[in-house]
Structure 1
Amino acid sequence: MTNDPKRKTGNTDPGRNAGRTGKAGKTDQTGNTASGRLKKALAPYEKVLTKNPDDAAAWAGKAAVLLRFHVYKDSLKAFDKALEIEPLNPGYLFEKGFVLLKLEREEEALQAFDWVLEIKPESDKTWNLKTSVLCRLGQQEKALAACEKALASNPKIAGAWHAKGTVLSDLDSYEEALKAYDEALKLNQNLARTWEGKAFVLYKLDRFMEALNAYDTALKLNPNNAKTWVGKGLVHLRLSRQKRALDTFNKAISIKPDFAEAWLYKGEALALVDKDEEALRAYERALKIKPDYAEAWKAKISVSSKLGIEMDEEDMEEEWKEEWKEEKPEIKRSTWTRKSDIGVEIKNAAKEGKYNKFGKKEDQGPEIKRNTWTRKAQEGEETKKYMGKKTDKKRGGTERKTGKRKEQKK
């Protein structure tokens, strides 16, 4: 079965990408429809099940194919059939939990993950998803208690140490989080998402060069994690390395083209080198992916004003206009997005010269808050992390008008 982290940030495997069309009418470069590819992928499992309907592995294989093609309800039914035959198979239970997350049934998913941890307490990916879901539900203390309980009975569970670090980081206890991540890495040096988590807390502690080293290690272990590339790019921005930051954001986009946050920060990097028109296009791309992305709207308005482009009021939906009037935009949370407007803070810090070329603060720089979500995946997961419920509201059309340029005063 596919490692959950790779589901989250994107996977370059052509078989997985083929299934992402999701519509029967879609065709790939060879002219095959998605429904045709799904039918072909299911065929060997259907053949086995016709002969032996009690083959748990065949049911699980069928479920995995359906999951890959985003047919979640049927995938869940197939995993349930597999579990009727092998009720204590931790792999099937984990995948069932993951499908339940895709169906936004978090409480049931947590039950499945608890079963996995009863059978296989050292499962780091299960700890990762369980704590991520609890944090998303605002139950950080419960998540931390679960980690402490597990470590009290067995202090050599790397996944529990990683999960503890994730929760502590979410609670802004960065020094303690760093200690927990280090404990996890003492037990297992090959945990990409733990290196990513460590990199983030080092970044929060203004230890930028150490953060870069940790991100590099994470990327050696999992080079296809778009979220990790974005994290590395943010460090480069804080070090005033706009060109390197832009390269890393482009890398993230090449892995996951629909990663709205990567487009936002690409826009910030472009704006910092006065490529405002390109920055505007990047912000518009972020908004096409995520129409209610408050930070992207604010950035678009700012750069549009700089370019002399008047934003029509109809371009902004009423709920967002009201929030901006109050200067309290609601920012939807994802695995790695921060609470504050990072791009603006980085931009201001760079202009004010608060960071020298080595990234050391010459005076107090802006504080960047971290968001509730952590190594999602990060899916993840690209380490796989659970990104939580899809919060974007479907709206009629995501294209935005750029407005008309203001007439130049004569």
Structure 2
Amino acid sequence: MDGNYTRAWELKSAVLAQMGKNDEALEASKRARMSSAPSDTEMISHSWVSESFILRQMGRDDEFVAALENATTLDPKNYDAWILLGEALRGRGEYDRSLAAYDSLLSNIAPTSPPFLALVLIDKGSVLIDMDRYEEARDLYQQTIDLDFSDESPDQYYLGRAWIGEGVSLLRLGDYEDAQEAFNRSMEAEPLLADDAWGGIGDARMGLGSYEEALQAYDTALEIYPESVNAERGHAWKGKGDALMALGREEEALVAYQNATIAYDLAIERPDQARQSYPLNGEFWRSRGAVLEALGLEAQAEEAYGKAREMGYES
């Protein structure tokens, strides 16, 4: 088999996908695999990963996951395939399988470079938080923070994300003072994470009953968040609504909740724009349900709560 021929089909598939011609892109991807030597499992595994993006774009979620599973079966050292599989399973609420994907990555590849290892530990910690295993998640984030990071941008980004994870773990454990400190440390490591950090600081201040200060934090987050990150903006708008409601400013709170609903709706329409900090998981659906309930939209609220329950979150 000619490797150049295989590569040509892969490039054609990528171009067709960019043009929105997904059916043709899918066919080209299959032709790439057919032209590969059966012994070239690394290339075939890579082809399955490329095909998974097309399938996700087409909304064929089961096939998307199956493609990634094929990739990891063919080449257990395919780092990208394991990462994508773990993220995909987490997004479906299949937390045990997601956790197993990250554990398989660690056992098959055992990355030692701080950015590569940090990404796995951070993502695994996020799954543990979804599973209410906060102490275990915190242990992973502390392990990540202790890695030998350089002062370069990629390293500092992952260090900042680890501090975000530490902050979220502490929030769930009710340690709001230390959570604030963790979110501040994340901004020190990577200023680009200031939006998520301020959202977390708002949550911590709510836990402390400091509602005016929480309101300021959510406003700061909303000023910084790009318009495209709708799940994150929804979280901040909901937090702002909760703070305003706690302050007795009900009319303003309802406006904030309405803005949260708009952001949540956009997040559902454009799931690929969700960040790792606020994926469309059970907590997302529970928060959306709470906002809809506050607005008196009971039927829609119950639908959102139902999705949260499907993912293991109680309303």
Q: Specify if TM > 0.5.
A: yes
- The correspondence for 1:295, drawn from 261, 268, 290, is 290
C-alpha distance in structure 2 between counterparts of 1:211 and 1:102, whole Å: 37
Larger radius of gyration: 1
Q: 1:132 to 1:265 in 2, by over 3 A?
A: same
Deviations 1:58-95 (A, max 9, x none): 4365256347xxx7556655655666667717666444
CA RMSD, aligned part only?
Answer: 4.3
* 2:66 equivalent in structure 1: 111
Q: How does 1:299-338 map to 2 (within 5 A)?
A: 299-301=294-296, 316=297, 319-320=299-300, 323=302, 330=305, 332-333=307-308
> Could you tell me how far 1:204 is from its partner in structure 2?
1.4
Q: Which amino acid aligns with 2:207?
A: R
Residue 267 of structure 1 pairs with residue 241 of structure 2: yes
* 1:43 equivalent in structure 2: none
> Could you tell me how far 1:297 is from its partner in structure 2?
1.9
* 1:173 equivalent in structure 2: 133
Q: Which amino acid aligns with 2:219?
A: L
**Do 1:253 and 1:262's aligned partners in 2 also have CA atoms closer than 8 Å?**
no
**Taking structure 2 as the reference length, what is the TM-score of the superposition?**
0.62
Q: 1:53 to 1:140 in 2, by over 3 A?
A: closer
Q: 1:188 to 1:331 in 2, by over 3 A?
A: farther
Q: 1:193 to 1:142 in 2, by over 3 A?
A: same
Residue 141 of structure 1 pairs with residue 125 of structure 2: no
Unaligned stretches of 5+ in structure 2? Answer: 37-41, 150-154, 266-284
> Could you tell me how far 1:245 is from its partner in structure 2?
2.8
**Do 2:241 and 2:257's aligned partners in 1 also have CA atoms closer than 8 Å?**
yes
C-alpha distance in structure 2 between counterparts of 1:105 and 1:225, whole Å: 34
Higher relative contact order at CA 8 Å, sep ≥6: structure 1 or structure 2? 1
**Do 2:76 and 2:108's aligned partners in 1 also have CA atoms closer than 8 Å?**
no
Q: 1:162 to 1:290 in 2, by over 3 A?
A: closer
**Do 2:10 and 2:29's aligned partners in 1 also have CA atoms closer than 8 Å?**
no
Structure number having the greater helix percentage: 2
**Taking structure 1 as the reference length, what is the TM-score of the superposition?**
0.50
Q: Which amino acid aligns with 1:245?
A: Y
C-alpha distance in structure 2 between counterparts of 1:229 and 1:85, whole Å: 51
Unaligned stretches of 5+ in structure 1? Answer: 1-51, 302-315, 342-410
Q: How many residues align?
A: 264
Match of 1:55, SS state, is: helix
Q: 1:209 to 1:155 in 2, by over 3 A?
A: farther
**Identity, % of aligned positions:** 22
C-alpha distance in structure 2 between counterparts of 1:329 and 1:57, whole Å: 40
C-alpha distance in structure 2 between counterparts of 1:76 and 1:222, whole Å: 40
* 1:403 equivalent in structure 2: none
Q: 1:285 to 1:195 in 2, by over 3 A?
A: same
C-alpha distance in structure 2 between counterparts of 1:266 and 1:121, whole Å: 44
Q: 1:172 to 1:80 in 2, by over 3 A?
A: same
C-alpha distance in structure 2 between counterparts of 1:228 and 1:76, whole Å: 40
Match of 1:223, SS state, is: helix
- The correspondence for 1:200, drawn from 141, 151, 168, is 168
* 2:143 equivalent in structure 1: 183
Match of 1:330, SS state, is: helix
Q: 1:289 to 1:140 in 2, by over 3 A?
A: closer
